[in-house]
Structure 1
Amino acid sequence: MMEQAAVTRQTFDDVMVPNYSPATMIPIRGLGSRVWDQIGNEYIDFTGGIAVNGLGHAHPELVRVIQAQSEKIWHVGNGYTNEPVLRLARGLTQATFAEKAFFCNSGLEANEAALKLARRYATDHAIARNGVQKSEIIAFYNSFHGRSLFTVSVGGQAKYTEGFGPLPQDIKHLHYNNLAAVAASISEKTCAVIVEPVQGEGGVMPADPLFLKGLRQLCDKSGALLIFDEVQTGMGRTGFLYAYMHYGVVPDILTTAKALGNGFPIGGLLTTSKIAASFSPGTHGCTYGGNFLAATVAGRVLELINTKDILDGVKARHERFITGLEAINARHGVFAKFRGMGLLLGAVLNPAFSGKAKDIVDAAQNVGLMLLVAGPDVIRFAPPLNIPEVDIDEGLALFERVVNTVSLSNKVC
């Protein structure tokens, strides 16, 4: 066997398409909420793989089940079904409003499927609406639903669509949490309203409860489907299995991914039997969706996360984070406010520190802490749901070191 050449961060620039700009360090091992890089540096992980690793790195039970399944069978194609995916679908439908499930590989694919299903459903039921062309999708500025041409067009951030035109049509963007704007715009032409219960990439912005309740009422009145994009908020992230449960607003379609596989790629769509009927054989598909390995991991993730201990633990850890962040801010005054739900939190920078979110993330890496941004002015925290309290406290101590440096630097300037 030939010896493999060493790889470094420079290797990325040499061989990879430059659509990412990754960190200088290369992680090679993780355990729980800790990560180690190529040269042995240790980090506390407050990113959770961008809200993916809900149970942390190398969870022993997930390692066990994927090893066991890998020795049996991996893939047969969707001309057949398999036991793990049927157990997963049954588990999700029993735990949620849904009656039917569809599986794919990512949140992007789940949202693509949801939007296609909404338009197909509208087409199937056109006669009941006197033949009105019902294809319009209402979405919201600063939302994020994926990077396909369709989903990136639905997402309300122009920077992600520049240079990719012509874009899919019949998509209308309105301001998040502005119910009056939706009431003025929704009509018989609207087939769906898609919304994140908490905008993740858009700055960790929770929805106003009255906004979501109002969307439900407006969709019912106009015959539009209400789609909740819970790719980032799902699987316990907010302290509930899905965020719709916190708000008490039931969508028609829910999309899920990220933490569903704890790092193994899987996405899903949940809906009712009536709506699901519009995806008759041949209308939609996914080669790898719901394969043996992904479904096995996701099934065990669901069992582990959907427990009182984990979900209540998320709420308790939320309070620990907020208390710690507020104490840091009382000493340094860098942040205007903290927002979010559960363990999806955003620290919003004061105007005096505008645009410095990425600088803080980069500086944190240098002291052994992994952080995220949510735009240029928001630091995002999305650690494992089961992160030990000692790691929260140690990570916040490292965070304060960075915040202190930024604060002092700003004063000198």
Structure 2
Amino acid sequence: MLNKFLTHIAQTSDDPLGLEIDYAEGPFLYTTNGKRFVDFISGIAVSSLGHRHPKVVEAIHKQVDKHLHVMVYGEFVQQPQVDFAELLTSNLPKKLEQIYLVNSGTEATEGALKLAKKYTGRTKLIGFKNSYHGDTHGSLSVTGRDVYRDPYLPLLPDVHFLEFNSSANLELIDEKTAAVIMEPIQGEGGIIPAEKEWLQKVRKRCDEVGAMLIFDEIQSGFGRTGKLFAFEHYKVVPDILCIAKAMGGGMPIGGFVSSKEIFQSFKYDPPLNHVTTFGGHPVSSAAAHANLQELLSGNYLERASVIEKKIRSELKGKGIVEVRGMGAMLGLQLESWELTKNVVEECFEQGILLGWTLHSNTLIRLAPPLIIEDQLLNEVLATLLEAVEKHS
């Protein structure tokens, strides 16, 4: 099957992992040759409640028996969309009261940028160096890494990049700025949390000049940091919130959340000026609702904090520079690229799936599912530490 995969499926690199997946359940992936892998990156922060959570699967089955796609987004009343939106917004600050449902994280970013420009009537956008917001043209335009941007220039005009966690040049956020977009924790940039005081300064500056503050919580959202969303750690509320990844419990869905007032601008000049055919697909929305119900009813947020404490206490020693991040969104910084490569490959051979972030080749992404039990977590950390010691 691998040859057919390489022949008929467009590739994103010369060296895909190439695992032939048979099925997945809980924290595990099972290949067609019978090998079991611990998914310690949760499908890149997607399967936070593990693979095929029973509540999510049950919701999918129920919705499939009712209807699939019936109309483009926003025209028909569909209960899964309403149920999810009501539950989500009831657990967010008051001004984050409506959601526009899309299919993915980069679509959420695209919609948020358009919404900010439409509402403010401005064009200037501010992003941050080493950020990542997606690979479509608008999202790439505000992604702060030239190696990914340069092949596709020219991108959106009037985009400017500031240093993350630096108060220098905040005056570039001015009366011409439509939006400032950032990740409260830079994910692909190396799992770098924003400093609380600095983030509050950015919020204040946006308020002073009337710019929209957009938080990209596509990777950090839905409990991964020990809060429902990372911005809760900072006591800073965005004007627009972008979400996806863990939102659907494994189903494709995304969204951007804002106030009813701001969303009004999508309704005129002209009407339907931002539309999507499959956004908020009823099966994905049903999965998202069940996923959020389970997340809120269990002890998963507390579990993320327990996972962080365990990882920080165990991963110390030669070759390890630091562990950074929040909750179960952590990065293990090692001393060299060679060590990092050897550790990831060693763990892969031992049945543990790890990975890098896009912008760093000396940092291992640690994003285990929140359902992982202590025994398995201990086993993974012991194997990981052993690999670091072996190759240091």
Q: Same fold (TM over 0.5)?
A: yes
* Native 8 Å contact 2:339 2:388 kept in 1: no
**How far apart are residue 238 of structure 1 and its match?**
0.4
Residue 387 of structure 2 aligns with which residue? 402
Aligned CA distance change for structure 1 residues 11 and 403 (closer, same or farther; 3 Å): farther
Q: How does 1:230-379 map to 2 (within 5 A)?
A: 230-280=217-267, 281-307=271-297, 309-326=299-316, 330=317, 333-350=318-335, 353-354=336-337, 356-374=339-357, 375-379=360-364
Aligned CA distance change for structure 1 residues 56 and 167 (closer, same or farther; 3 Å): same
The AA in structure 1 aligned to 2:212 is L
* Native 8 Å contact 1:33 1:391 kept in 2: no
Number of aligned residue pairs: 382
| Rounded Cα–Cα distance in structure 2 between residues aligned with 1:371 and 1:155 | 24
Taking structure 1 as the reference length, what is the TM-score of the superposition?
A: 0.90
Q: Which runs of 5+ in 1 are unaligned?
A: 1-6, 124-133, 408-413
Q: Does 1:171 align with 2:159?
A: yes
For residues 246-289 of structure 1, the C-alpha deviation after alignment (integer angstroms, 9 at most, x for no partner) is 11100000010000012100001111111111111411011111
Runs (4+) off by over 4 Å: none
Q: Does 1:146 align with 2:112?
A: no
| Rounded Cα–Cα distance in structure 1 between residues aligned with 2:31 and 2:389 | 25
Q: Does 1:198 align with 2:197?
A: no
Taking structure 2 as the reference length, what is the TM-score of the superposition?
A: 0.94
For residues 205-240 of structure 1, the C-alpha deviation after alignment (integer angstroms, 9 at most, x for no partner) is 000001110111000001000000000010001010
Q: What percent identity do the matched residue pairs reach?
A: 37
* Native 8 Å contact 1:230 1:243 kept in 2: yes
- 3-state SS in 2 of match to 1:269: strand
Q: Does 1:136 align with 2:136?
A: no
* Native 8 Å contact 1:368 1:398 kept in 2: no
Give the CA RMSD over aligned residues: 1.3
For residues 315-342 of structure 1, the C-alpha deviation after alignment (integer angstroms, 9 at most, x for no partner) is 111111111112xxx2xx1121110001
Aligned CA distance change for structure 1 residues 355 and 214 (closer, same or farther; 3 Å): farther
The AA in structure 1 aligned to 2:68 is W
Q: Does 1:34 align with 2:19?
A: no
Residue 109 of structure 2 is aligned with which of 108, 111, 114? 111
The AA in structure 2 aligned to 1:84 is P
| Rounded Cα–Cα distance in structure 1 between residues aligned with 2:236 and 2:114 | 22
Residue 127 of structure 1 aligns with which residue? none
Residue 81 of structure 1 is aligned with which of 77, 81, 89? 77
* Native 8 Å contact 1:30 1:36 kept in 2: yes
